């Protein structure tokens, strides 16, 4: 695979999607577990928004690796490691992204094991990690404007 330039449109779309999904989570009643638990639709909405935010974040990482470095990464769990190897993310962000990729995989493959309480705890205690990793990836892109293709 040959690097061909990051697509500005894809970067913008994935970043906007992550932000939209995390905003959807923040709009849920997260003040207390009882408020969250009171309506079963809250857990369903939280799961959907969280999974889609994580997938968009990981897809952005895969895009950076494929178009910026010519690296094909097929497994979400490998995105963090490859972003570290290429210097896109530092160790602290790599650790966060690995954990987030693990959540995504559990939400998709082991959904029956993810409790409503665990979803609540992720949404109240770890949602900012998603934004921290997004900010770090976008900061790398901004610091490397030569890597971005602005054409359609």
pLDDT value at position 116?
Answer: 94
pLDDT value at position 4?
Answer: 82
pLDDT value at position 1?
Answer: 74
Beta bridge partners of 7: 149
CB 122 within 8 A of CB 103: yes
pLDDT value at position 152?
Answer: 62
pLDDT value at position 26?
Answer: 98
pTM score above 0.85: yes
pLDDT value at position 150?
Answer: 81
- Digit-coded pLDDT (tens) for 10-53: 999 999 999 999 999 999 999 999 999 999 999 999 999 999 99
Instruction: Indicate the class that CATH gives domain 6-143.
Output: mainly alpha
Count of other CB atoms within 10 angstroms of residue 15: 18
> Angle 132-135-136 (CA atoms, 0-180°, nearest 5)?
85
Instruction: Give the C-alpha separation, 54 to 104, whole Å.
Output: 6
Instruction: Give the C-alpha separation, 56 to 33, whole Å.
Output: 27
Low-confidence spans in the chain with pLDDT less than 50? none
């Amino acid at each position: 695979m040959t690097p061909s330039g990051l697509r500005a449109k894809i970067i913008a779309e994935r970043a906007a999607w992550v932000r939209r999904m995390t905003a959807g989570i923040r709009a849920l009643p997260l003040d207390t577990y009882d408020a969250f638990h009171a309506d079963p639709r809250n857990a369903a909405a939280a799961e959907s928004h969280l999974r889609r935010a994580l997938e968009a974040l990981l897809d952005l990482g895969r895009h950076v690796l494929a178009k910026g470095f010519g690296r094909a990464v097929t497994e979400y769990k490998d995105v963090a490691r490859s972003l570290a190897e290429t210097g896109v993310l530092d160790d602290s962000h790599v650790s966060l992204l690995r954990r987030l990729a693990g959540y995504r995989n559990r939400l998709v493959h082991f959904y029956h094991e993810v409790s409503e309480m665990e979803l609540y705890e992720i949404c109240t205690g770890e949602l900012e990690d998603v934004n921290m990793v997004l900010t770090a990836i976008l900061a790398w892109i901004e610091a490397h404007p030569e890597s971005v293709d602005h054409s359609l």
